[in-house]
């Protein structure tokens, strides 16, 4: 988030318009000056206010101001929206899986822009999760799950509890006997989430799990074959030399996606079979 108040204001106006942008910027500035508690902001386009701590402002800026999950500018957007409408036309409920939900701002974004979808939002940190529930409570299409995403159902723990709550990393806990490990978290697999309540029509998956993408993409990923879109933040920069992106890159190469860079994220758009066949014929 820019330190310059003028740059902040200009960005708010550019995104939300003159009146709404100035109103939102003033509300934020006044609360930062006069309040030491939770910030409460009415963001244009959202059905309910968002609540955040001061340390959550960079996330707020990325998701709701810069709008890093807005893919409208890409030519693949029409294909993705067409796939979304096709699911609805077939009487199917599009499913969005938000892996690493933090305080729920990404879930709120997806729930607002794809209101006929169901959004499963998974977050391991307890303090983040409490805010996540508060931020998503008025969105009937968001299901909040306290836990982490993993390659299989299991028990997890946070391996770096003293680090910032936007960068927690998870590791699997070895089970002994039938007792659940003390202070462990529920580890969910993508397949398990898609099997809940018959939610099997995967439209979009968002992944920001602080390097655990290495584990998530280590084994079979049949669910990836049905995803219309995937957006992921990779973390080789955070853990140099560990190659945490390697498994993801291998799996994405096994499937048919257009991959574009958007801010800190890679966005993968599935290439429909008819389009792929047309492209192949042009090269033969």
Instruction: Provide the pLDDT confidence category of residue 221 given band limits of 50, 70 and 90.
Output: very high
The region of weakest confidence among 13-17, 102-106, 109-113, 173-177 is 173-177
What percentage of the chain exceeds 90 in pLDDT? 79
Q: DSSP 3-state assignment of 257?
A: strand
Per-residue pLDDT reduced to its tens digit, 28-62: 999 999 988 999 999 999 999 999 999 999 999 99
Q: DSSP 3-state assignment of 73?
A: coil
Q: Average per-residue pLDDT in the chain? A: 91
Burial (CB < 10 A; 0-12, 13-18, 19+), residue 63, is buried
Residue ranges per structural domain of the chain: 5-65, 77-282
Which pTM does this prediction carry?
0.91
What percentage of the chain exceeds 70 in pLDDT? 90
| pLDDT on residue 163 | 67
Q: Find the helix packing angle between 126-136 and 105-113, rounded to 10°.
A: 30
The answer to whether 66 touches 23, Cβ cutoff 8 Å, is no
Per-residue pLDDT reduced to its tens digit, 234-266: 999 989 999 999 999 999 999 999 999 999 999
Instruction: Provide the pLDDT confidence category of residue 282 given band limits of 50, 70 and 90.
Output: very low
What token pair was written down for 119?
A: 């959004």
Instruction: Provide the pLDDT confidence category of residue 284 given band limits of 50, 70 and 90.
Output: low
Q: What architecture does CATH give domain 77-282?
A: 3-Layer(aba) Sandwich (3.40)
User: Of 174 and 226, which is predicted with more confidence?
Assistant: 226
- Separation of alpha carbons 249 and 142, rounded Å: 29
What token pair was written down for 72?
A: 């409208």
């Amino acid at each position: 988030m820019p330190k310059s108040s003028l740059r902040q204001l200009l960005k708010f106006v550019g995104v939300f318009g003159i009146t709404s942008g100035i109103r939102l910027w003033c509300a934020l500035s006044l609360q930062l000056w006069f309040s030491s508690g939770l910030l409460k902001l009415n963001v244009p386009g959202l059905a309910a206010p968002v609540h955040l701590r001061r340390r959550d402002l960079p996330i707020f800026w990325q998701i709701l101001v810069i709008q890093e999950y807005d893919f409208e500018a890409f030519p693949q957007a029409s294909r993705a929206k067409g796939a979304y409408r096709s699911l609805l036309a077939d009487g199917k409920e599009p499913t969005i899986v938000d892996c690493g939900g933090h305080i729920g701002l990404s879930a709120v974004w997806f729930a607002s822009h794809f209101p006929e979808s169901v959004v499963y939002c998974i977050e391991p940190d307890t303090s983040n999760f409490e805010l996540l529930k508060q931020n998503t409570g008025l969105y009937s299409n968001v299901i909040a799950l306290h836990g982490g995403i993993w390659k299989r159902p299991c028990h997890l723990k946070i391996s770096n509890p003293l680090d910032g709550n936007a960068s927690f990393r998870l590791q699997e806990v070895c089970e002994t006997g039938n007792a659940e490990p003390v202070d462990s978290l529920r580890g969910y697999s993508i397949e398990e989430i898609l099997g809940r309540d018959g939610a099997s029509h995967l439209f979009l998956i968002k992944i920001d799990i602080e390097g655990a993408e290495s584990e998530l993409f280590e084994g079979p990923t049949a669910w990836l074959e049905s995803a219309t879109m995937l957006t992921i933040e990779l973390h080789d920069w955070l853990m140099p030399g560990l190659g945490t992106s390697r498994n993801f890159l291998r799996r994405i190469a096994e499937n048919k996606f257009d991959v574009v860079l958007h801010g800190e994220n890679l966005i993968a758009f599935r290439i429909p079979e008819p389009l792929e066949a047309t492209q192949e014929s042009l090269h033969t």
